[in-house]
């Protein structure tokens, strides 16, 4: 039987979760209307960044960001670990608004989210249909070759199990094709706040660590070398296990 203190703590977490979702809706719905009419992708991205910062501030979860000096002023690729639905909002709040996000195509099934993400220049990638996935990959490579700044979650998805999963190669192939540096980014704390399958967010602290950029070596194995280096860089500051090493 729960003690009164446990029941009170559970109630406090539930109240926080409801307030957090309410704050998200109060900010997100006007944002969707704003990006529908706001001209220019850069303006829409800036508005989305401000909205993400406001939402996280109301949730008392404003991320502590370090290492922004490692982010090149020139176009680049950002790769980050993925632990929660909060990660996209956290990266939007932390990064300059010049980045377009590369997102799994399943998000197109969420109408408002799809509309907002499309209006800020996000790119959707098919993970299960080989032919469509190949077409999406070619489009991403062409954007990188045109030297667009892109942000990826190279694990592709997330689970409730703590740990860094295997990285897909798309972000690193795009970096090699566009001759762009890759900036590893570590996101900490979001899994604890809103893990996969969790209904209500929980109070927590979020940290974003921008690591030094990695450049490809021009060798035949440049894509694999980039993937390995960036993954090792993220693991060095991520207090979670290496799931790829445990389950190759």
Number of alpha carbons in the 13 Å side-chain half-sphere of residue 206: 29
Q: Does pTM top 0.75 for this prediction?
A: yes
Say if strands 123-125 and 150-152 run parallel, antiparallel, or are unpaired.
unpaired
pLDDT at 163: 94
Instruction: Of 185, 155, 158, give the one whose Cα is nearest residue 167.
Output: 155
Domains and CATH numbers, the chain: 4-246 (3.40.1130)
pLDDT tens-digit readout, 111-134: 888 899 999 999 888 777 667 777
The first and second tokens of residue 120, run together, are 């800020």
pLDDT tens-digit readout, 74-122: 999 999 999 999 999 999 999 999 999 998 888 888 888 889 999 999 9
| C-alpha 82 chain-centroid distance | 6
The first and second tokens of residue 192, run together, are 């604890």
């Amino acid at each position: 039987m729960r003690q009164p203190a446990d029941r009170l703590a559970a109630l406090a977490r539930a109240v926080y979760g409801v307030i957090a979702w309410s704050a998200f809706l109060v900010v997100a719905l006007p944002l969707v209307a704003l990006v529908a009419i706001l001209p220019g992708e850069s303006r829409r991205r800036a508005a989305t960044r401000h909205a993400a910062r406001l939402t996280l501030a109301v949730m008392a979860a404003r991320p502590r960001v370090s290492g922004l000096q490692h982010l090149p002023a020139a176009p680049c690729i950002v790769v980050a670990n993925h632990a929660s639905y909060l990660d996209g909002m956290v990266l939007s709040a932390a990064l300059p608004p010049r980045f377009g996000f590369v997102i799994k195509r399943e998000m197109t099934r969420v109408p408002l989210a799809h509309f907002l993400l499309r209006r800020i220049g996000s790119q959707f990638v098919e993970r299960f249909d080989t032919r469509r996935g190949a077409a999406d990959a070619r489009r991403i490579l062409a954007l990188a070759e045109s030297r667009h700044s892109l942000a990826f979650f190279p694990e592709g998805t997330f689970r409730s199990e703590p740990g860094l999963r295997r990285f897909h190669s798309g972000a690193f192939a795009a970096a090699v094709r566009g001759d762009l540096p890759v900036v590893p980014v570590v996101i900490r704390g979001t899994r604890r706040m809103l893990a996969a399958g969790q209904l209500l967010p929980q109070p927590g602290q979020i940290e974003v660590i921008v690591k030094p950029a990695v450049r490809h070596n021009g060798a035949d194995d440049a894509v694999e070398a980039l993937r390995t280096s960036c993954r090792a860089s993220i693991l060095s500051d991520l207090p979670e296990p290496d799931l790829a090493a445990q389950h190759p």
